[in-house]
Amino acid sequence: MPITRQDVLHVADLARLDLDPASIDAHVAQMAEILAYVAKLDEVDTTGVPLTSHASERTNAFREDEEQPGLSPERALSNAPGSEAQQFVVPKIVG
């Protein structure tokens, strides 16, 4: 099924893109090339290839959570521009 100008305009509308009318024909050609390349994947024999959800085996690269001491109120407020009763003082922004 060939890509048409209407297809490009529809996709642009869905993506909230404002395409230059002069570039629409170029986008038609580019989308056709992309879809032709993706169609080549149908030719690949995937018999016996296990399904995957990720390209690599890496799972979680995060460190383990370790309990650490927190800041004292004095230390937490030490760089604050203003504090009062162990709380930050900020400018009033709501009437």
Q: Which sequence spans correspond to the domains of the chain?
A: 5-43
Name the pTM for this structure: 0.48
Count CB neighbours of 35 within 10 A.
Answer: 13
Confidence of residue 24 (pLDDT cuts 50, 70, 90): very high
User: In which band, very low, low, confident or very high, does the pLDDT at 78 lie, cut at 50, 70 and 90?
Assistant: very high
> pLDDT digit string (tens) for 55-72?
777 777 788 889 999 999
Check residue 36 and give its pLDDT. Answer: 92
Element (H, E) at 92: none
